[in-house]
Chain A
Amino acid sequence: MLRKVCLAAAIVAVTAQPLLAASGVDPQADFKAFRKYFTERFPKVPLNDFVNGPYSMDEGLRKQWKAIDEFPPYEFAVDQGKQMFETPFKNGKTYADCFPNKGIGVRQLYPMFDEKSGEVVTLDVAINKCREANGEKPYDYSKDDMAALTAYMAYTSRGKPMDIKIPNDPRALAAYKAGEEYFYTRRGQLNFSCASCHVQNPGNHIRSEVLAPALGILNAMPIYRSAWGGMGTTSRRLRSCNSQVRGTPLSAESPEYRNVEYFLSYMANGLPISGPGARP
């Protein structure tokens, strides 16, 4: 409704939102269609439960998860992340100096579009930018240190609704659009898109795994996977998704991955942060 009004105004005023209208990118309409699809396909799944991935789809798995979540294996990573977060850099500054609200309870704001650089900044990228700005070496985006730090930052944000903004900036809209296209494009020897598994087949098995719904799929990041025997970042998960369809993984936090994270997180707006998560 609001958008219709905006669009009408834009057409009348010619200049108000010409890029949005011209590019055919309409995140709000996508959002509504995406939400409608999942809630209609899984009417018994409470909206906020989608963030629990495969556990929202399968009762037997859910019971094991509840047992594991009584004392989840990611607690060590949360502890480690807290310690890292609170330890000052060599110059005396801390992560708190780089983030809104001193870095506590901000996971839901990422990825964020950075108007200065014109790029999508995920939480992991923001952390490394912070490190580099303070003369520290960046962390490897796929490794345990980054997973631990993001685990702690997610932990302080639990329950906060995802709150991704797409400003009316052609670069932001283009990034969103590219992320959406990446999500729906088939690739790999199996010729699967992200959507083949996570839109068309949530709750079904692929080999032995129960597929998670795409709605809210990143709200649990980072995750402790039993298959890994440890924590992994969003990049690590996306790379293993590519490998699972026998495709070629991109480099961690490549523009494609950031964009798909931007798209998926926008689709999850309003759903609670549940990370760090535990997954099979």
Chain B
Amino acid sequence: MANTIRIRAVASGDTTEVQSLIRHPMDSGFVKDSKGQLIPPHHIEVVQFEHGGKVVFTALWGPAVSKDPYLKFSFQGGKKGDDLKVSWVDNKGESDSFVGKIQ
């Protein structure tokens, strides 16, 4: 699988602002395909962000989160060049992770 995670993390003062975009269909389970069959739910359940050995943010998502989901949050600490790890897992057990650098 091509990398599904894009992150943009920028340190400014003592705060790091994180934005992420994950490529995922986030099928709600309520939409029908072109043949009239319901597309079964397929959505990310948990996204975790880690910095310096600590979880700095956890998202718990249901099927109402938009396709190719976006997130923005900020945490204290983090400096340019630090690693920031993102990982997700969905309701089918598929997962991906990515380590990016804070800018």
Contacts and interface: CB of A to CB of B under 8 A. Distances in A.
A75 B67 contact: no
Contacts of A75: 6, 21
Interface in B1-32: 2, 6, 8, 19-21, 23
A89 interface: no
Nearest to A74: B68
B19 A71 contact: yes
A71 B21 contact: yes
22 contacts: A68-B70, A70-B19, A70-B72, A71-B6, A71-B8, A71-B19, A71-B20, A71-B21, A71-B70, A71-B72, A73-B21, A73-B67, A73-B68, A73-B70, A75-B6, A75-B21, A76-B6, A76-B21, A76-B23, A76-B68, A80-B2, A229-B67
Contacts of A73: 21, 67-68, 70
A71 B23 CA distance: 12
Contacts of B67: 73, 229
B55 to A, nearest CB: 22
Nearest to A83: B2
Interface residues of B, number: 11
Contacts of A76: 6, 21, 23, 68
B42 to A, nearest CB: 13
Closest 5 A/B residue pairs (Cβ) = A73-B68, A71-B19, A71-B21, A229-B67, A76-B23
Contacts of B23: 76
Interface string A48-84: 0000000000000000000010110101100010000
A73 B23 CA distance: 9
A68, A70, A71, A75 — which one has the most chain B CB atoms within 10 A of its CB?
A71
Contacts of A229: 67
Contacts of B72: 70-71
A72 to B, nearest CB: 8
B7 to A, nearest CB: 9
A80 B6 CA distance: 13
A70 B70 CA distance: 10
A59 B14 CA distance: 34
A68 B66 CA distance: 12
Interface in B51-69: 67-68
A262 to B, nearest CB: 33
Contacts of A70: 19, 72
Interface in A223-237: 229
Contacts of A71: 6, 8, 19-21, 70, 72
A272 to B, nearest CB: 24
Contacts of B68: 73, 76
Nearest to B3: A79
A40 to B, nearest CB: 38
Nearest to B68: A73
A260 B8 CA distance: 39
